[in-house]
């Protein structure tokens, strides 16, 4: 208790917010939360390894939507293998080609808009 009072009373301690643009960052964080919630509201999204690559299956309802954005793949062990692809659906599937992936862990981030609303989906996979 003495330590807290000493710190609050001492003019040598800076009591400002850690981030100067705190409110701006909080707004961006809220937008990120909303985008992730929009992905959850869509329904279950499943990923699976196929002979042609990694297929991400979206609910059937996605066929009737306007879905634009980017698929980003991050390789935690080697950033030189990271790459981005535009979202191109085949029905309700998105395919990440086998020739772009090597065995091991990948972090997948899908960001964009779905019927004009922000969309964000994250998944870690072992390919």
CB 101 within 8 A of CB 47: no
Domain presence at residue 1: no
Count of domains in the chain?
A: 1
Expressed as residue numbers, the domain containing 33 is 23-126
Where residue 54 sits, what CATH number does that domain have?
2.60.40.3760
Kindly report, residue by residue over 41-90, the tens digit of the pLDDT.
988 999 999 999 999 999 988 877 788 999 999 999 999 999 999 999 99
pLDDT over 90 at 37, yes or no: yes
Are 89 and 62 in contact by the 8 Å Cβ rule? The answer is yes
Dihedral over Cα of 98, 75, 34, 20: its sign: negative
Range in 16-30, 53-67, 111-125 with the lowest mean pLDDT: 16-30
* 46 belongs to a structural domain: yes
Q: How are strands ordered across the β-sheet holding 83-86? A: 83-86, 67-74, 105-114, 117-126
């Amino acid at each position: 208790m003495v330590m807290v009072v000493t710190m609050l009373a001492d003019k040598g301690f800076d009591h400002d917010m850690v981030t100067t643009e705190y409110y701006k960052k909080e707004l961006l964080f809220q937008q990120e939360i909303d985008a992730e919630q929009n992905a959850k509201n869509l329904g279950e999204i499943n990923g699976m390894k196929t002979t042609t690559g990694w297929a991400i299956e979206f609910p059937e309802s996605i066929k009737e939507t306007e879905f634009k954005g980017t698929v980003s793949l991050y390789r935690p062990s080697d950033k030189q293998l990271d790459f981005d692809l535009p979202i191109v659906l085949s029905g309700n599937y998105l395919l990440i080609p086998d020739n772009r992936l090597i065995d091991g862990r990948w972090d997948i981030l899908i960001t964009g808009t779905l019927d004009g609303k922000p969309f964000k989906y994250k998944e870690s996979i072992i390919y």
